[in-house]
Amino acid sequence: MRKLVLAASVALLTACSSPQQEQLNFMPQPVLSNSNLVQNANFTLTSKDVRSAQYVALIDSGRSNIEPIHSRQNVRISIENALLEQFQSQGFNSTVNSENSVSVEIQEALVSVKHSVMANEMDGKVVLEITAETPKGKLVKTYTGTAKRNGALSASDDEIGMVLNDVTNLVLKEVANDRELKDYMQERF
């Protein structure tokens, strides 16, 4: 009898459990260099996520209900890995205890979605602050990427994820093409 009650309880709890929270696929693409800027210049890369909340999208369907959506991947680690690949493609070597350091601060990574059954409007924004520091000084730069997208019908998770990835990739491209940052690291690292 106990086994029957236990089996019935487990089946009931399984049926009552809430559905899995939807998540976006966050896959930023590094901008890889074809040629080395430097040979064996070492640096230490660190990152921190200072966003007030960890969701990457807010969906407002107009019914007094705003739903947050999180990323499947860790945002901080994904951005740090993409930047590491970028810097390594330029010839920089990442080590754990270099006197040269690059720190990345993720200040914002969010897509705001307003949608109804007939239309959607998405605003994406990503803000990264990068600090390149040596014993002789430091350079602090802020990179911001924004995008607006409108579409018919309600926005799917894939479309929201595409906007987030596109905006992040724009910021990574801006970092890769920043002459001032490249020159600073090339001359001092």
- Give the pLDDT of residue 16: 46
- Give the pLDDT of residue 17: 44
- Give the pLDDT of residue 63: 72
Instruction: Identify whether 14 is part of a domain.
Output: no
CATH number, domain with residue 32: 3.30.160
d(CA 163, CA 182): 27
Q: 124-170: per-residue pLDDT in tens?
A: 999 999 999 999 899 999 999 999 988 888 788 888 999 999 999 99
CB 67 within 8 A of CB 16: no
Exposed e or buried b per residue across 150-178, where buried means at least 16 C-beta atoms within 10 angstroms of its C-beta: eeeeebeeebbbbbbbbbbbbbbbbbbeb
d(CA 161, CA 159): 5
Instruction: Identify whether 115 is part of a domain.
Output: yes
Residue range(s) defining the domain that contains residue 47: 22-188
Instruction: Identify whether 15 is part of a domain.
Output: no
- Give the pLDDT of residue 2: 60
Which residue stretches of the chain have pLDDT < 70? 1-21
Instruction: Identify whether 134 is part of a domain.
Output: yes
d(CA 25, CA 111): 13
Q: Which of 184, 148, 127, 171 is nearest to 30 (CA)?
A: 171
Beta-sheet pairing, 92-94 with 41-49: parallel
Instruction: Identify whether 171 is part of a domain.
Output: yes
Total domains in the chain come to 1
Instruction: Identify whether 29 is part of a domain.
Output: yes
- Give the pLDDT of residue 6: 53
Instruction: Identify whether 9 is part of a domain.
Output: no
Instruction: Identify whether 1 is part of a domain.
Output: no
d(CA 128, CA 91): 22
